[in-house]
């Protein structure tokens, strides 16, 4: 009988979407939590986790210089205080990966919208140094040069910028720079060789893991050395950027395998423990254009037999991606020029371009004379939300332990909608003074709102204790929450 009761209890918990292992509180301290996964959600009733699609803001940069062109790709944007830096492969004609015609180009912007290509005077191309090239004649590094701004507090100031680049033949080579413009090899030999690397291989310093983390191209059946199966992702870590761990293959839960041409994994600046992967999903032989249509667009004949779009994944570290959202995050746009091979490839990193706005950039019209980068916008933390219809519903978190004294939410409601918050103990009982009947009814659309109960915002008495948050929503979206000091 005890056994049957236990099984019955487990079934009831599963049916109610409540984790039976949720009794161990999750330490979130003062981290911001966004809803790109369901890791902290215990129960959803009448609400859903909803992915939000960025808004197309138009073209911001054309690959129009003689040394750039149709096959410019593998772009990275870095926000360094009030300056945005953009790096990308420049090459006009298709050719073997890692040939000497490939260069690494640079552009910069004060607002992420208006870009300039400075004449840097570093490398001579076609008899002139009046160009925006920061790396040339370092075969095959410019094929997939992937830089980052090192957030390691112990990093050498002369190596504030770092990068990895290379192919399977060369291995990944390490580059360093003090200013993000003048680059040199860290050492002559590669720092990591156990991968296929035929993509953009991303790297960053993880504040949460206290390690350098690299995500790189492998194949689902060929593993770390052969081109077999699906294009996939491996991971390796390092304490010093030079010595890297044995690689592991990333997992995707129960999601079906996709060809991930790029994965573009990087920490989200407002919640750096969350790694966002806005990658390119490649659909081999899924042809949209006819040869005649491709000829009109002047698409290279080898690059219209497939199509691709952008997907949204996430990770909290380790070798697991969360694929809560299988559907496309950014669909190809209107017009046949958007339906060619290797187009719609997201630029590495999401950046904040206004007090209320994030920007995502996408490499579009690949293999065409019109190749360019387009900007897409979304609200801060607005990748996904807990969404409630007009009839309302609620979401309950798993037991959490926080540090701080007030609860901040990022939310929006309709004129008829609202948000209320109740705080429960670890057993799910409402805590006196923080019941839903005590909660101020929140109406509006704000990036930052402090929650109150009977005009009280102070949660110091609950800090360090296991609690659950119960969000009551009606015609509303909750984008994030965090506890403030």
Interval 163-220: pLDDT, tens: 999 999 999 999 999 999 999 999 999 999 999 999 999 999 999 999 999 999 999 9
Q: Which pair of tokens denotes residue 214? A: 């690299």
Q: Which pair of tokens denotes residue 128? A: 């002139």
Arithmetic mean of pLDDT, 259-266? 98
- Cα–Cα dist 278/75, whole Å: 13
**Structure-token match 């590094």, residue found:** 141
Arithmetic mean of pLDDT, 281-303? 97
Asked if pLDDT for residue 6 goes beyond 90, the answer is no
| Percent over 90 (pLDDT), the chain | 94
Asked if pLDDT for residue 9 goes beyond 50, the answer is no
- Cα–Cα dist 135/141, whole Å: 8
Q: Provide the pLDDT for residue 72.
A: 97
| Percent over 70 (pLDDT), the chain | 95
Arithmetic mean of pLDDT, 81-98? 95
Question: How far from 301 is each of 296, 305, 367, CA to CA, in Å?
Answer: 11, 9, 9
Asked if pLDDT for residue 16 goes beyond 80, the answer is no
Q: Which of the residue ranges 2-6, 7-11, 224-228 has the most confident prediction, judged by mean pLDDT?
A: 224-228
Confidence of residue 7 (pLDDT cuts 50, 70, 90): very low
Question: How far from 198 is each of 100, 166, 218, 236, 345, CA to CA, in Å?
Answer: 16, 8, 8, 16, 15
Arithmetic mean of pLDDT, 151-165? 97
Confidence of residue 23 (pLDDT cuts 50, 70, 90): low
Higher-pLDDT residue of 374 and 2 is: 374
Confidence of residue 290 (pLDDT cuts 50, 70, 90): very high
Using only C-alpha atoms, the chain has a radius of gyration, in whole angstroms, of: 24
Spatial CB neighbours of 22, under 8 Å, sequence gap ≥ 6: 42, 398, 399
Arithmetic mean of pLDDT, 426-441? 97
Q: Provide the pLDDT for residue 25.
A: 97
Confidence of residue 284 (pLDDT cuts 50, 70, 90): very high
Read off the pLDDT of residues 325-335 as tens digits, 9 standing for 90 and up.
Answer: 999 999 999 99
Q: Provide the pLDDT for residue 22.
A: 45
> Nearest 5°: phi and psi at 141?
-60, -35
- Whether pTM > 0.85 for this model: the answer is yes
Confidence of residue 8 (pLDDT cuts 50, 70, 90): very low
Asked if pLDDT for residue 359 goes beyond 60, the answer is yes
Arithmetic mean of pLDDT, 258-262? 98
């Amino acid at each position: 009988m005890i056994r049957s009761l236990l099984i019955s209890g487990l079934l009831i918990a599963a049916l109610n979407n409540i984790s039976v292992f949720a009794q161990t509180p999750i330490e979130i301290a003062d981290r911001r939590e966004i809803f790109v996964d369901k890791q902290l959600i215990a129960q959803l009733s009448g609400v859903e986790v909803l992915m939000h699609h960025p808004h197309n803001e138009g073209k911001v940069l054309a690959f129009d210089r003689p040394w750039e062109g149709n096959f410019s790709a593998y772009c990275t944007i870095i926000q360094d205080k009030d300056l945005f830096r953009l790096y990308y492969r420049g090459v006009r004609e298709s050719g073997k990966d890692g040939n000497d015609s490939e260069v690494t180009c640079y552009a910069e912007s004060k607002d992420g919208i208006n870009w300039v290509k400075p004449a840097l005077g570093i490398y001579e191309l076609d008899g002139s140094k009046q160009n925006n090239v920061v790396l040339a004649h370092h075969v095959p590094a410019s094929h997939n040069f992937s830089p980052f701004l090192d957030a390691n507090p112990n990093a050498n100031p002369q190596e504030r910028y770092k990068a990895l680049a290379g192919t399977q033949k060369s291995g990944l080579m390490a580059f360093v720079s003090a200013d993000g413009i003048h680059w040199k090899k860290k050492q002559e030999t590669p720092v990591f060789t156990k991968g296929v690397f035929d993509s953009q291989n991303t790297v960053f310093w993880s504040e949460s893991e206290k390690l350098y983390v690299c995500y790189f191209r492998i194949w689902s059946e060929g593993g770390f050395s052969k081109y077999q199966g699906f294009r996939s992702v491996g991971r390796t870590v390092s304490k010093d950027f030079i010595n890297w761990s044995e690689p592991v293959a990333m997992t995707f839960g129960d999601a079906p395998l996709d060809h991930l041409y790029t994965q573009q994994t990087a920490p989200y600046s407002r919640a750096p423990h969350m790694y966002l992967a806005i990658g390119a999903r490649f659909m081999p032989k899924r042809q949209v254009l006819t040869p005649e249509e491709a000829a009109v667009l002047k698409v290279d004949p080898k690059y219209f037999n497939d199509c691709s779009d952008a997907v949204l994944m996430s990770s909290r570290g380790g070798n697991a991606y969360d694929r809560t959202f299988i559907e496309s995050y950014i669909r190809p746009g209107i017009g046949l020029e958007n339906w060619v091979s290797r187009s719609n490839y997201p630029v590495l990193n999401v950046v904040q371009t206004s007090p209320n706005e994030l920007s995502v950039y996408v490499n579009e019209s690949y293999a065409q004379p019109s190749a360019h980068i387009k900007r897409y916008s979304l609200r801060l933390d607005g990748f996904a939300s807990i969404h409630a219809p007009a009839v309302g519903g609620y979401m309950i978190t798993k037991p959490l332990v926080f540090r701080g004294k007030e609860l901040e939410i990022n939310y929006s409601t309709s004129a008829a909608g609202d948000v209320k918050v109740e705080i429960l103990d670890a057993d799910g009982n409402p805590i006196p003074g923080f019941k839903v009947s005590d909660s101020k009814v929140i109406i509006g659309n704000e990036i930052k709102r402090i929650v109150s109960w009977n005009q009280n915002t102070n949660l110091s008495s609950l800090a360090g204790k296991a609690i659950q948050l119960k969000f009551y929503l009606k015609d509303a979206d909750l984008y994030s929450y965090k506890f403030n000091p």
